[in-house]
Homo-oligomer: A and B are copies of this chain.
Amino acid sequence: MTQGRAGGYRILHEAALRDYLAGLPDLAAALGGQPAAWSITEVGDGNLNLVFIVKGARGGIAVKQALPYVRLVGESWPLPLSRAHYEYLALSRQAELAPGLVPALLHHNEVLALTVMELLQPHIIMRKGLIAATHYPRFVEDITTFMARTLFFTSDLALAAADKKEAIAAFAGNHALCKITEDLIFTDPYRVAEQNRWTAPYLDALAASLREDMELHVAISRLKLKFMASPEALLHGDLHTGSIMVTDSETRVIDPEFAFYGPMGFDVGAVIANLLMAYFASAGHERTPGERRSFEVWVLETVERVWSEFERKFLELWRTEAAGDAYPATLFVGEKGAVWLEAERQAYMQRLFADTVGFAAAKIIRRIFGLAHNIDFELIEDPQRRAISEARAVRLARAMMVETGTFRTIADVTGAARKFRDWQPELSG
């Protein structure tokens, strides 16, 4: 497979892509009209790939092609094309498990590391909507269904152990993408690293304090080990609000190229972290004090409901669809068995919640001190206001990472967020 790719791979820019699509009758028919008349626009704003929107007389499609390097950095940072294979594999599995919550797959070419999907319109990247203070009434329902179903049905609670082991092995080759996470989320923000950046000079002292904070280094290292060696379920692996496209009435999760078998809390924590960052960034986007208050109330409610609905749906699947080798039903028969198993389900969710809190914290800190930032904060033009929002988020994140056990419920998380909303940090510079 790798050889085939090395042999036939070429980057398809506009003209080559037009010819390629014209040669695929189903896609050409879906686009409609003459190929020469199709509009082709490169829209990739992610860090890794080319993304084209192609529109014809009848309809549109989205085309994603992996580049053999990290787009954000350039050819000096090579990255295997095989990630397109894993993304396709994950997307196929997610489509089975959470129908309607990922884009429809239309075509995949392994050699070109290229996938064609339905064009999501009028969907926008959720992060952009959050910056504009938009409420998304469908979001909790959809994202919790996506997470509960994709995580539960790929776990030992739903799968026979043999199938689970083979599934882990099927994604083991995606380690270059895992390595990005291991470095950029779990290591670099806590040490001197060339690619780190932060809102200087205001956060200089905070950045330095994180590099010296050994209690935090132990906590992030435990999380890193858990990320590397706890294949609980098939993760999306990069489930931030830039990987979610939304309208008022629809939600689609995109871009699972970081997919692998890892700890469930990493996905759930990613969603919660990005909502918390939207919350802390909100103050920085205010033009008049309090104008985004109802949005901020909605975001924290959403954090609470993301956890509580995820937990409710996951537990319900466990009660009704447990066909896996873990917690065998034959060990929990009768009324007494049911009571003990239900108590254990609650204990399991409590452990998963602790993981979620820890991973959420890691996702926040990397966006403020690491390589890849997010526009929630970046679009706050005044760097001092940005730094204030960021410092508040970091204060919460540090507590979540080193005092994880004190966050017993999701209300403890949102309560702490509310408390730090108006906290005035001391800035450097």
B-facing mask of A220-232, CB < 8 A → 1, else 0?
1110110011111
Residues of B within 8 A of A175 (CB): 161-162, 165-166
Instruction: Select which of B156, B187, B332 is within 8 A of A225 by beta carbon.
Output: B156
In the complex the two chains form, what is the Cα distance from A327 to B179 in whole Å? 14
Stretch at the interface among A210-218, A275-283, A298-306: A210-218
In the complex the two chains form, what is the Cα distance from A232 to B165 in whole Å? 14
Residues of B within 8 A of A46 (CB): none
In the complex the two chains form, what is the Cα distance from A215 to B173 in whole Å? 39
Q: A172 an interface residue at 8 Å Cβ cutoff?
A: yes
| Residues of A that sit less than 8 Å from B by CB | 156, 161-162, 164-166, 168-169, 172-173, 175-176, 178-179, 182, 187, 190-191, 212, 214-215, 217-218, 220-222, 224-225, 228-232, 325-328, 330-332, 336-337, 339-341, 343-344
In the complex the two chains form, what is the Cα distance from A166 to B260 in whole Å? 13
Instruction: Select which of B173, B221, B231 is within 8 A of A231 by beta carbon.
Output: B231
Show 15 A/B contacts (Cβ-Cβ < 8 Å), sorted by A.
A156-B228, A161-B175, A161-B178, A161-B182, A162-B179, A164-B229, A168-B168, A217-B332, A217-B337, A217-B340, A220-B331, A221-B327, A224-B325, A224-B327, A229-B326
Residues of B within 8 A of A325 (CB): 182, 224, 228
Minimum C-beta distance from A401 to chain B (A)? 13
Q: Which residue of B lies closest to A164 (CB)?
A: B228
